[in-house]
Amino acid sequence: MESNNILLLFDQFIDQYPNDESCLKHLFYEKWEKGFHCIRCNRKKYCGGVKKYDRRCTACGYVQSPTANTLFHKVKFSLQKAFYIVYSVASQPYGIHSTDLSKSLQLRQKTVWHFIQKVKLAMEPFLHADKLNGAVEINLYPITVKNYKDQRKPSLEKKTILMAMEKKEGKINRIQGIYTDKIDKSTLTNFIQHYIDDDAVFSMDLIYQNHTKSDFSYEYIVEDEIENYFPSHADDLTPAINHWLRNIPGKNKILQKYLFEYCYRYNHHRSIEDPFQILLKRMMQRDSTIQDQFSP
């Protein structure tokens, strides 16, 4: 997908984050720019900790580092390298290979791979702002993935994704999608609850037209209709999604991760904000202890 993002050039990245301290300082301001609250007792008064950028709650004595409760928590290598991995994932519209990065950063491939997975967690929809709003259309999309049951000869398998599209001025503005084996009432209900804002007006052709979440009655969903429903205008996104997922082994969890990433990149590629800064912020906002909101 084409991008018109304003992204830092590599030289600018190094100028801005020349060492670990500059990265920690960035996280420090990002975390507490709107004030401090203790994650243990929720009080707001603090003093400095032993380490330069730590804060210590004066009520309960709990010490928080800028990385606590974020996806940077307990990173076992240099913070500057971690920032660089986030930068690389954000700047490459089709993602990045851990092997390439591991060479340039002199880290083990597995270490880099694990950290990239964390960056991808930050791409999953977990903020209220990630919910689609306004006019939303829900569709089912057919996709084809490779099944690697027979390692020598992967077979092609047809699967379905449930996709919601936020429309703006007649065009698709943002999307959210889940991969699922079975489209039934509870899948659909969960999907709507998680990914569509309460005020959105959504439609599902053949099933329901123009309903808000509060007046949408799930009782009336006819499951046969959902299962057999493929819209004629699914063509807009299907080739792109198929292309993105073409080499992904057809396991549900893996497919879902890639689908989240696809939706994230689709939703942000027109943004005029620096994609690296957006992703850094999400790394800070996403609590590392929270499990996937919607596990397929």
Residues that bind Zn ion (CB under 5 A): 38, 40-41, 57, 59-60, 62
CB of 68 to Zn ion, least distance (A): 12
CB of 47 to Zn ion, least distance (A): 12
CB of 50 to Zn ion, least distance (A): 16
With the C-alpha atoms ordered 166, 171, 173, 178, is the resulting torsion angle positive or negative?
positive
**Percentages helix, strand, coil for the chain, rounded to the nearest 5?**
40, 20, 40
Give every CB contact of residue 183 below 8 A, 6+ residues apart in sequence: 140, 160, 162, 223, 226, 227
Which of 26/55 has CB closer to Zn ion? 55
d(CA 119, CA 286): 10
Which of 62/113 has CB closer to Zn ion? 62
d(CA 79, CA 262): 26
CB of 70 to Zn ion, least distance (A): 18
Which of 59/222 has CB closer to Zn ion? 59
CB of 135 to Zn ion, least distance (A): 45
The count of other CB atoms within 10 Å of the CB of residue 288 is: 15
> Angle 57-58-59 (CA atoms, 0-180°, nearest 5)?
90
Residue for token pair 């800064």:
277
Which of 38/90 has CB closer to Zn ion? 38
CB of 290 to Zn ion, least distance (A): 21
Which of 50/272 has CB closer to Zn ion? 50
Which of 44/52 has CB closer to Zn ion? 44
Bridge partners (DSSP) of residue 156 are: 146
Contact criterion met (CB below 8 Å) for 194 and 130: no
d(CA 67, CA 294): 25
